[in-house]
Amino acid sequence: MTAFKKLLGILLAMIMLFSGVMALAEDVIVSESGEVENPEAIVAGENELIFWSLFSGGEGGYMEGLVEQYNATNPKMTVRNVKLNWGEYYTKLMTAVSVGKGPDIGISHIAKLPELYDQKVVTPLDEYATAMGFDWSQVNQNTLQAATIDGKIYAVPLDTHPEVFFYNKTILRDAGLLNENDELVLPQDAEEFYQFMLDMKSKLPEGIYPLSFSSAGDDPWRIIWAMYHQMDGAPVITSDLEIKLEKDKYVAALEYLKKFYDNGIIPVNLEDFYSYFMNMRGAATFITGVWATSSLENIEGLEFGVQSFPVLFGKNAQWGDSHTFILPVKPDSNAERMTEAMKFFDFVSKNSIVWASAGHVVANVNVLQSEEFAALPYRSDYADVANYVVFFEPNPFSYPIRGAMMQQIDAFLAGNQTAEEAYDNTIAEIEEIIF
């Protein structure tokens, strides 16, 4: 027994000694990490900037094209585009930066920026912008303002992307639902819109649904967001971290959306609602972000129209977010690399007509006013939606809160809880997030 105690004592001593050594190691390695150049293969070449992006599908191709165009101009440092999975992008970015392994260039949504700032993930751009003569007046000033924290600019606005309403002209024309201009006119009132869609259902051929829409994830959340703000709902959370989400309005928005599934306007539990519209025989209309425009244009035989998501509850308010370029904190970077990165941002901004082709409302005002932009079909149909977009009030928890809202909406739409429960659980989760 005493031998056992002795052994236990030795064990404890070993662990303590060991912990001490590890604690020492912490300081040494952290202080050195600024200079140490890791020889591993992941480190970008001397003349290469690593760019982590979250774009997929159609828009991913356009960004890839912009990168190739830039590299073709023989810049001092070329850009290498690494496409990450959208669902994992921020987790990956933040963990990577926290361990000093982040990329040279990143993308941030404007709503996410305060969190990245709060977690010390982003570098201010002012110095490098000045160094290469970046003209800040060329970008959308509202987004730029949102990208400015404590007097410093942390991001270059690239676009605004609202959620819009697409429709299949062929199907609707056959059903006699288009007007003389071959356009769909949506009623701008909640009850009328609902009746309109019900009516559409009765006019469509058997097996075609009026609306293709997801019942989980981002998209339902986005239109709940839009409708809640159309009711003039208070901010979900203020910059002072006060939860202001209004129960009656939020519940009303949730229940309104649910009616569309319950009455066969939207097929329930559709996993892949893009395909369901794109295959031209699943549904007549489709709600999602503007980035789908380019994919739709590439579908042979699809004749479609697009307009803004209707104003159903009085006030024009829309969901939207903005992509921005950021410089993640990187211990082994330097002013030269960052200035080169700014050159890339400048190039993309000036050439963002390509990005507009993907469907986005670009942030570069010169491009937005150009004839080329005006000549693009569809884009002008929704370009002014960007003016009605409601963002989160800047706060470091927007994205986790968005995630919580989405999860509770999912559970509500799947029939696992009532709208009131969804509201209560959302509040409980937000409280858990901001403690």
Partner 1 sequence: MTNKKSIGGILLEIVSILCMVIILIPVVWMIAMSFKTEGQQISNTWQYFTPPYTLQNYVTIFQTSKVLTWMMNSLFVALIVTALVITISTMAAFALAKIRFRYSKFMYFFFLLGLMVPTEATIVPLFVTANRLGLIDTYLGLILPALAGSMNIIIMRAFFMGIPNDLIESATIDGANELHIFLQVILPLGRTVIVTIAIFTFIGNWNSYLWPYLAAMSEDLFTLPLGIPTFIGQYTQDKVLPMTINTIASVPIIIFFIVFEKQIVKGISLSGIKG
Partner 2 sequence: MSAKRKRIWRNDLVALVFLLPFTVLYMVFTIYPVIQGLYMSLFKWGLMGKQDFIGADNYTRFLGDKFFWGALWNTTKFVLYSTPTIILMSLGLALLANRRSPLKRLYRAAYFTPNLLSVSVISFLAIYILQPYGMGFISNLLKTLGVQEEIFFLKDPQLVWVSIVGTTAWWTCGYNMMLYISALQDIPDQLYEAAAIDGASPSKQLWSITLPLLKPTTLLILLLQLIASFKVFAQIRLITNGGPGHATRPLIQYIYQAAFEKNRLGYAAAMSYALFLILVVLSLIQLKATREGDR
**Binding-site ranges for partner 2 (CB under 8 A):** 14-15, 18-19, 22, 87, 90-91, 94-95, 98, 119-120, 215-216, 267-272, 275-276, 282, 400, 403, 407-408, 410-417, 428-429, 432-433, 435
Spatial distance between the Cα atoms of 363 and 146, rounded to a whole number of angstroms:
13
Spatial distance between the Cα atoms of 356 and 381, rounded to a whole number of angstroms:
13
Spatial distance between the Cα atoms of 157 and 136, rounded to a whole number of angstroms:
10
Nearest residue (CB) to partner 1, 103 versus 162: 103
Question: Which of partner 2, partner 1, none lies near 407, with the C-beta cut-off 5 to 8 A by kind?
Answer: partner 2
Question: Which of partner 2, partner 1, none lies near 15, with the C-beta cut-off 5 to 8 A by kind?
Answer: partner 2
Q: Any bridge partners for residue 31, and if so which?
A: none
Binding mask 272-311 toward partner 1 (x if CB under 8 A, else -) reads: x-xx--xx--------------------------------
Nearest residue (CB) to partner 1, 280 versus 386: 280
Task: Quickly count: other Cβ atoms within 10 Å of residue 351's Cβ.
Answer: 16
Report in angstroms how near the CB of residue 79 gets to partner 2 at its nearest: 26
Report in angstroms how near the CB of residue 198 gets to partner 2 at its nearest: 21
Site for partner 1 in 107-146 (CB under 8 A): none
Give the pairing type, strands 159-168 and 283-289. Answer: antiparallel
Report in angstroms how near the CB of residue 417 gets to partner 1 at its nearest: 27
Q: How far is CA 410 from CA 85, 404, 415, in A?
A: 21, 10, 9
Q: Any bridge partners for residue 319, and if so which?
A: 390
- 3-state SS assignment for residue 95: helix
Structure tokens at 55: 């774009």
Smallest CA-to-CA distance from 187 within 205, 200, 173, 201 is with 200
Nearest residue (CB) to partner 2, 62 versus 273: 273
Backbone dihedral angles phi then psi of residue 288, each to the nearest 5 degrees: -165, -170
Report in angstroms how near the CB of residue 83 gets to partner 1 at its nearest: 7
- The angle subtended at Cα 317 by Cα 312 and Cα 322, nearest 5°, is 135
Question: Which of partner 2, partner 1, none lies near 38, with the C-beta cut-off 5 to 8 A by kind?
Answer: partner 1
Binding mask 66-95 toward partner 1 (x if CB under 8 A, else -) reads: ----------------xxxxxxx---x--x
Question: Which of partner 1, partner 2, none lies near 72, with the C-beta cut-off 5 to 8 A by kind?
Answer: none
Q: Work out whether 326 is an interface residue with partner 1 (CB under 8 A).
A: no
Question: Which of partner 2, partner 1, none lies near 417, with the C-beta cut-off 5 to 8 A by kind?
Answer: partner 2
Nearest residue (CB) to partner 1, 40 versus 240: 40
Binding mask 22-61 toward partner 1 (x if CB under 8 A, else -) reads: x--xx--xx--x--x-x-xxx-------x-----xx--x-
Q: Any bridge partners for residue 107, and if so which?
A: 325
Spatial distance between the Cα atoms of 435 and 112, rounded to a whole number of angstroms:
18
Q: How far is CA 302 from CA 177, 210, 394, in A?
A: 17, 16, 40
Q: Are the beta carbons of 328 and 108 closer than 8 angstroms?
A: no
Question: Which of partner 1, partner 2, none lies near 82, with the C-beta cut-off 5 to 8 A by kind?
Answer: partner 1
Question: Which of partner 2, partner 1, none lies near 300, with the C-beta cut-off 5 to 8 A by kind?
Answer: none
Whether the CA torsion 288, 289, 295, 301 is positive or negative: it is: positive
The amino acid present at 291, given as its one-letter code, is W
Nearest residue (CB) to partner 1, 7 versus 185: 7
Q: Are the beta carbons of 175 and 284 closer than 8 angstroms?
A: yes
In 238-376 the beta strands, taken as DSSP E runs, fall at 283-289, 304-308, 318-321, 323-326, 361-362
User: Which residues here bind partner 1, judged by CB under 8 A?
Assistant: 7, 10-11, 22, 25-26, 29-30, 33, 36, 38, 40-42, 50, 56-57, 60, 82-88, 92, 95-96, 98-99, 101, 272, 274-275, 278-279
